[in-house]
Amino acid sequence: MWGFWFLALLVIGLIRWVYRWRNPRCNGKLPPGSMGLPLIGETLQFFAPNTTSEIPPFVKERMKRYGPIFKTNLVGRPVLVSTDPDLNYFIFQQEGHLFESWYPDTFTEIFGRQNVGSLHGFMYKYLKNMVLNLFGPESLKKMIPEIEQAASKRLKKWSQQESVEIKDATATMIFDLTAKKLISYDQDSSSENLRENFLAFIQGLISFPIDIPGTAYHKCLQGRKRAMKMLKNLLNERRMNPRKQQSDFFDHVLEELHRDDTILTEGIALDLMFVLLFASFETTSLALTLAMKFLSDHPKVLKQLTEEHEAIVNRRQNPDSGLTWKEYKSMTFTFQFINETVRLANIVPGIFRKVKRDIQFKDYTIPAGWAVMVCPPAVHLNPTKYEDPLTFNPWRWDGQEINGATRHFMAFGGGMRFCVGTEFTKVQMATFLHCLVTKYRWNPIKGGNIVRTPGLQFPDGYHVQILERDT
């Protein structure tokens, strides 16, 4: 008899738990949507791979069913997904007041619990200013010759090969340049390959979070451990052999750590270095790969881009002189081309924030503690803003000067957390394109297909033959 009552109570408790899962408590009216299965929510559907360049099927299907704002559950966390321009703008404007930066625990495990994306208030501003010292306009003006030299050297090397896989090749180029600026790392003189650890990290970054040997997520965490060990060893080595003058970002970090009034810790410094190394090369190499594919597929775009860069060379007194900051800022069509490339690339599938207290928006209540996910692809592919949104058309940006995020363009984030490396990314892309179209041509060989899981990937790479142009 007691067994019957115990079983009955267990069933009632289970039913109550499932009900509460599907109907979260709220002091108002929640947006429509489904919380999915207990514990895993709709995580499997969110991570399901797709080959479309449209709004991700996970989001698109729910937009049709529920509207521009809907609720879901990802990796055990209630999430409100916003494709509404007004709500997106409100979220970014209220950063630090009603919302704060947040990422799932799995992301925090990967990037570090003290990574810059998880910090708030004064500490975040402090780290942001440190990064701006490295990637701000004044530093970039001095860096352009190094970026141009790196691009010219690699393109020359690639032109002597029968085939080049652009994603991996550009990632290596950018990683080597960034690692040199950050930590004076030189692969040719190092006994360990730092980038190999980041490759293992990347393969599992956007994967289902199961930390079991053999899974992509486990390999990702192991890659992080190895990379962090190398960075710590480099930091200790630098401590043992300090330099007389600052020459890289590590020197600046060490100076900060030695100050009596510093708020910087070694853990925060290493997590910052890790994030900077990853963010600087992975997203830019994806954008450059897609840029070359778009140029191959759109001869008129390639023609106008080439004409703009040839005109820059022709205006010089010495055609062999290097690219200047003034020339970079004059690249009107190049910036239109970059904007259109990153609009369609949608490298970042979601921007996460956490709600600090209950918020009323339109007819809905967003409960405190919930996560919100702004969906850039839904913004960038909105047909009411962009005519034929899936068509690659750089001319749609003619006359528009975008220096930050807007309601309808957030390829580099938004609000106070607008990516501090945005100008660095644009300088790298524009400089590489300048070297490419003025001195080389290329023929696609194979690959170029994309898969989103939900982040952008080139599973077969993009293989091309690069040839020097006839003079």
Q: Check whether 419 is labelled as a binding-site residue.
A: yes
For residue 128, give the nearest of 235, 284, 268 by alpha carbon: 268
Tokens of 172: 């290596």
357: left (phi over 0), alpha (psi -120 to 50) or beta: beta
Helix axes 266-297, 332-345, angle to 10 degrees: 100
CA distances to 30, 108, 341 from 430, rounded to whole Å, are 45, 32, 12
Instruction: Give the 3-state secondary structure of residue 378.
Output: helix
Return d(Cα 305, Cα 336) in angstroms, integer.
Answer: 10
- The burial of 69, by beta-carbon neighbours within 10 Å (0-12 exposed, 13-18 middle, 19 or more buried), is given as buried
Which residue has tokens 């797709």? 50
Helix axes 266-297, 194-203, angle to 10 degrees: 70
For residue 108, give the nearest of 131, 75, 151, 135 by alpha carbon: 75
Residues 438-459: b if buried by 16+ CB within 10 A, e if exposed: ebebbeeeebbebebbbbbbbe
Helices (H), 241-298: 249-258, 266-297
For residue 283, give the nearest of 273, 294, 275, 272 by alpha carbon: 275
Annotation: binding site for heme: 419
Annotation: binding site: 419
